[in-house]
Amino acid sequence: MNPDQLQNIEAERQALLGQLNAAEAALRTGLLTQGFGSNARAHMERAHAHIQEACICINEGKPIRTVPQLVDDLNRVQRAMDAARRQRSQHI
């Protein structure tokens, strides 16, 4: 690749990272908003996790989890949190 092509690729990468950072900031703000229910929050949390994975991939150029792997990991974490919450409520 010539230097102009590399410069264009880097400019596109930086633009995409800027868009992902803006989306992440909007999601963080949305997560602080009350009154939309747990389903909306769950979707925003998942979207936030996906954006973070994309940023890692773009910034570091490393292989990352596939979408199904990420979803599976997030589901496992959610089940563990739900189980801990149930145990805590049973001991109160």
pLDDT value for 1: 81
Write down the pTM of the prediction: 0.76
In the numeric block, the tokens 């908003």 are attached to 33
Q: Which residues, including other chains, have CB under 8 Å from residue 47's CB and lie 6 or more apart?
A: 23, 27
Q: Is the pLDDT of residue 89 over 90?
A: no
- Domain ranges in the chain are 3-90
Q: Which helix (H) or strand (E) holds 37?
A: helix 37-60
Confidence band of 23 (pLDDT split at 50, 70, 90): very high
pLDDT value for 49: 92
